[in-house]
Amino acid sequence: MSQSVRTRPEGSGQALSEAYDTALLDLDGVVYAGGNAIAYAVESLATARAGGMHLAYVTNNALRTPDTVADHLTELGIPTGADDVITSAQAVARLISEQVPAGARVLVIGGEGLRVALRERGLVPVESAEDDPAAVVQGYGGPELQWARFAEACYAIARGVPWYASNTDLTIPSARGIAPGNGAAVEVVRIATGAEPQVAGKPLPPMHRETILRTGARRPLVVGDRLDTDIEGAFNGEVDSLLVLTGVTDGARLLAAPPQHRPTYVDADLRGLLTGQPEVVEAGDGFRCGGWTATAGVDRLELDGDGEDLDGLRALCAAAWTAAGEGVCALDAGKALARLEL
């Protein structure tokens, strides 16, 4: 399953849904936003699935159970079973089960998703530090999670109980905007205890391992909108990735990406699964993609040509990342991006 990590834009002569056996899809910003399906998502996923691609949905949100997530996707017009959903709660529950005795008690600071995942691994969720837990696990508990729950975690950790976190995303999108995520809650406990949790979620290896174990993917493609979770997770798992520009990442962030945040492919939305990806080739001192060429000068990127905007962005990325090497690109890309309206 492992393959060489590619950190420059690549092309594919086949549709990605044919070149890869499984799509490991992030949800918010990729499939839906604010609970509603993103444009082209439903149709694109249906076509990919009809062509034989296995679709799996991978989320760092430990609050909702796989059944709840599957029901939501089905309501949006994307038929999904609970077995097609992989959560950070499942990844952290497996991690804990490998380090504590069978049937051990685990203090839960979070929601139902964590409790269901722990029971699946034969562990017993408890609510108090006085219940003699063998571990503390912390996951997103929603806006109703009480402050007293953090204190309960601190009491147990102070007694030497090992601490685990489903994920450390500092923020989570909501219908009203950006809200504090589990990472913000983890910081509360970290500050109070001075301890460090073992973390399972994207972009760390336990989450990628969980997706492969549950899907059986042999040639997976990670599909996401976030560089620091989805794309870095693919990098850590040594698999290819597709960045879609329907979520939090824009052209400027992409161009400044360090190697571990550089996707294999870039496309506007999930329609990118259904097509081949244009090749980015060396051209003189720069790179060409479609009708665009891009070169890296001393302190700026130069873009020339005409054609599809994304072709220009792919050429810009190749030029910027080659110039940056293992560092973060600091070249002035403002005027080049302005030509692409990105």
- Indicate which residue of 26, 84, 169, 225 is catalytic: 26
Q: Is 26 a catalytic residue?
A: yes
Q: Is 334 exposed, middle or buried (CB count within 10 Å of its CB: 0-12, 13-18, 19+)? A: exposed
Q: What string of DSSP letters covers 118-130? A: HHHTT-EEES-GG
Catalytic one among 21, 28, 240, 250?
28
For residue 214, give both structure tokens. Answer: 């549950």
Length of the chain: 342
- Token representation of residue 234: 């693919």
| All residues at 6 or more sequence positions from 62 whose CB lies less than 8 Å from its CB, including other chains | 87, 88, 89, 92, 110, 111, 113, 114, 117, 139, 140, 166, 167, 182, 201
Side by side, the strands of the sheet bearing 240-244 are 85-87, 54-59, 22-25, 220-224, 240-244, 265-267
**Strand, coil or helix: 296:** strand
Beta-bridge partners for 296? 301
Count of other CB atoms within 10 angstroms of residue 177: 8
Taking a C-beta distance cutoff of 8 angstroms, is the pair 167, 60 a contact?
Answer: yes
Read off the DSSP letter of residue 300: B
Please state, as a whole number, how many other Cβ atoms lie within 10 Å of the Cβ of residue 101. 9
Which residues are designated catalytic? 26, 28
